Amino acid sequence: MKTIYKSLAIILTLVLVLSLGACQTNNAGNGTEQELVNGQFVGEGRGKGGPVKLELTFENSVINEIKVLEHNESDYTEPVIADLTNQMIKTNSTNVDIVSGATLTSHAVINAVKDAIKKSGAILTAKEAIQESEKAEDISTDIVIIGSGGAGLSAAVEATNSGAKVIVVEKNAFMGGNTNYATGGMNAAGTKYQEAKGIEDSPELHFQDTMKGGHDKNDPALLKVFTDKAADTVYWLEELGAKLSEIGRSGGQSVDRIHKGPEGMPIGTHLMKVFANQVEKLNIEVRLNTKAVEMISEGNKVTGIKVENKNGDTYTISAKAVILASGGFGANPDIVTKYKPELEGFGTTNQPGATGDVFSMLEKLDIALTDMKEIQTHPTVVPRINEMITEGVRGDGAILVNRDGKRFINELETRDTVSKAILSQEGNSAFLIFDQQVVDTASAIKKYRDAGLLTEATSLKELGEKLKINATELEGTIAAYNEYYKGQNDSEFGRRLLNVELTKAPFYGVEVSPAIHHTMGGIKINTNTEVINNSGNVVEGLYAAGEVTGGIHGGNRIGGNAVTDITVFGKIAGKNAAEAIKGR
Ligand code: FAD
Ligand code: SIN
């Protein structure tokens, strides 16, 4: 649990005190006198990661401070928590809007405040919020970047360091998009960290694994840049403040290649902290709650974008170059089913803003799209709540069983193969089974336990019963698997990485089923990240990087390759855009 006493303390600065201290009662409006409440009260609400505890300080029944005592929500929600508590102080009311993309956290914060108010017995009188009207003035800059995920911020850092003035626009109330959710890690071959562990790897082998995983549909020129630059990009991120020395295995890889955050923490949480520090250090302007709605162009040349602010007002950002880094469309069922109708009704692991807005904005430029029907499901997602359980759990030792308590696949096959195998089991779902040793490998896995996602038991029999699967078969399955571990030979399914003997209680299980995860298709780019139109020409002044682009991953993305993609190509886009506009 995080304990935050100081950093998120929010202190009321508005004119609010009604005859402070002196008055002890108030007219409640119905002729009765209400006692005014003073002092501190703690309230609790349930968030995504567990309880959120807040301490409210009242002065004469007015909330004048809210301290965050404890929460286990993702780091990217901290500005959301700060913003909501600030609004509640300003209005002396809990009548505030839920923040899209942080719904559970928003509810937790509001419920914690309501709980504290209830405990205090205070009757609040709401105050009119002083509307800070957002500016909607036309402006100009060197480079405007759409999206503040890993691709957008890699580009922003590189372009700023190359001397360009950058504005990043982000439609959400916080930075990070799907990058906030990235968990397992980032792939790179031939790094000093692999070498230190005696892992023999090379960009060529990474290229081959990715091509094979993508069913040979990957764009070879883009893939070559990607695999050649991956290791240097790990070091570049480390120069910015990241730590990526831990290594594990993701599906479809010949060797351990996925570089993880410190102590196995989710890679997205780690990298977004690094990027947020850079934004501050380099004074990069990020306009939140600002949605790109239109491309501005003259013939084949892009000259800026039109954006809409929180109040619905539009204005123009003129720029010498525009970088598209707006992510994928995995949360837009209309586009998903247009290209892959069989995914109708599937859940998604993506943030709600992954809606592919820019595709319609680009129609007038006749942009070429590629591989749009290549949409990936992640095999291990908790049904109904769409919480992804990282592939790292399997890489660190977990197995998959069906309702009969039996294994049915090499768990470290590529995602498309594992997804298909799960969907052909009874109930279209399966169960990840592991022990305490696997939980101990990574803080990302401990988070699932702390959030109450895992079923826990002291024996395999008890676990099977709790999960309502065949417990006797489950015991036999684990006994057989442990024998494969001892002999280092999975004669049943050919799993090559047998790294844990599943013996250490407590044992854990969780039901999983595939959900939409990654959209491999998107805007066609060349190796300079310049956007290509349907005539095969470069669109002047327009660059793209990250999940909004297509071609790198072919027909199926390998786990850990997207973070590499967004940072390698985000960096290239920032550099090239900044170089191209020099002297203009
Ligand atoms: P994003 O990070 O999604 O950022 C795009 C941003 O653009 C968003 O903030 C969005 O709100 C904003 N935007 C969109 N439209 C507009 C608009 N019109 N105006 C303004 N802003 C706009 N990959 C890995 O390699 N390793 C992992 O461990 C991993 N784990 C994952 C776990 C989950 C649950 C998910 C969903 C994905 C995971 N991925 C992982 C995939 C990877 O996280 C994404 O592919 C990657 O983060 C996309 O980065 P991006 O910068 O292209 O887009
Ligand atoms: C995961 O951690 O399983 C997701 C990794 C990815 O999407 O690359």
Q: Is 139 exposed, middle or buried (0-12, 13-18, 19+ CB in 10 A)?
A: middle
Domain 139-182+268-374+520-580 is in which class? alpha beta
| pLDDT on residue 121 | 95
Ligand 1: centre distance to CA 98 (Å): 21
From the alpha carbon of 307, which atom of ligand 1 is closest? 19
**Does any ligand 1 atom lie closer than 6 A to the CB of residue 185?**
yes
Ligand 2: centre distance to CA 388 (Å): 8
Place of tokens 């690094």: 274
Ligand 1: centre distance to CA 174 (Å): 13
Ligand 2: centre distance to CA 223 (Å): 19
Alpha carbon nearest to ligand 1 atom 24, residue: 560
Ligand 1: centre distance to CA 131 (Å): 31
| pLDDT on residue 159 | 98
**Does any ligand 1 atom lie closer than 6 A to the CB of residue 478?**
no
**Does any ligand 1 atom lie closer than 6 A to the CB of residue 395?**
no
The best mutation among 178, 381, 512 to test binding of ligand 1, ranked by most ligand atoms within 8 Å of the C-beta, falls on 178
> Residues with Cβ < 8 Å from 532, sequence gap 6 or more?
367, 368, 524, 525, 526, 538, 539
Q: Which ligand is nearest to the CA of 565?
A: 1
Task: At 254, list the tokens.
Answer: 């010949």
Q: Which ligand is nearest to the CA of 350?
A: 1
**Does any ligand 1 atom lie closer than 6 A to the CB of residue 325?**
yes
**3-state SS, residue 533:** strand
Query: Measured between alpha carbons, how far is 201 from 206 in angstroms, rounded to an integer?
Result: 8
**Does any ligand 1 atom lie closer than 6 A to the CB of residue 327?**
yes
The best mutation among 378, 419, 520 to test binding of ligand 2, ranked by most ligand atoms within 8 Å of the C-beta, falls on 378
**Does any ligand 1 atom lie closer than 6 A to the CB of residue 151?**
yes
The best mutation among 179, 183, 309 to test binding of ligand 1, ranked by most ligand atoms within 8 Å of the C-beta, falls on 179
CATH of domain 15-120: 3.90.1010.20
Whether the ω angle into residue 506 lies within 30 degrees of 0, i.e. cis, is: yes
DSSP states along 255-295: S--EEE-GGG--HHHHHHHHHHHHHHHTT-EEETT-EEEEE
Q: Which ligand is nearest to the CA of 269?
A: 1
Same fold, 15-120 and 139-182+268-374+520-580: no
Give the residue extent of every domain in the chain: 15-120, 139-182+268-374+520-580, 377-515
Instruction: Return the exposure string of 375-403: e unless at least 16 CB atoms fall within 10 Å of the residue's CB, then b.
Output: bbbbbbbbeeebbbbbbbbbbbbbbbbbb
Catalytic residue among 415, 495, 496, 584: 415
**Does any ligand 1 atom lie closer than 6 A to the CB of residue 253?**
no
Q: Which ligand is nearest to the CA of 171?
A: 1
**3-state SS, residue 522:** strand
Query: Measured between alpha carbons, how far is 186 from 559 in angstroms, rounded to an integer?
Result: 8
pTM recorded for the entire structure: 0.90
Ligand 2: centre distance to CA 512 (Å): 14
> Residues with Cβ < 8 Å from 559, sequence gap 6 or more?
184, 250, 251, 252, 258, 391, 415
| pLDDT on residue 132 | 62
From the alpha carbon of 358, which atom of ligand 1 is closest? 18
Alpha carbon nearest to ligand 2 atom 6, residue: 559
What are the pLDDT digits (tens) for 406-420?
A: 999 999 999 999 999
List all residues whose CB is within 6 A of at least one atom of ligand 2.
183-184, 390-392, 559-560, 562
Ligand 1: centre distance to CA 328 (Å): 7
| pLDDT on residue 584 | 81
Active site residue 257: no
From the alpha carbon of 444, which atom of ligand 2 is closest? 2
Q: Which ligand is nearest to the CA of 515?
A: 1
From the alpha carbon of 561, which atom of ligand 1 is closest? 25
Considering only CA atoms, which of 515, 466, 484 is closest in space to residue 407? Answer: 484
Ligand 2: centre distance to CA 560 (Å): 6
| pLDDT on residue 378 | 97
pLDDT averaged per 10 residues, the chain (length 584): 37 34 46 80 94 96 96 91 95 94 95 97 85 82 98 98 98 97 97 97 98 98 98 98 95 94 92 97 97 97 97 97 98 98 97 97 96 98 96 96 98 96 98 97 90 96 98 98 98 96 98 98 98 97 98 97 98 98 88
Domain 377-515 is in which class? alpha beta
Give Cα 292 to chain centroid, integer Å.
20
Considering only CA atoms, which of 538, 524, 536 is closest in space to residue 371? Answer: 524
Ligand 1: centre distance to CA 408 (Å): 31
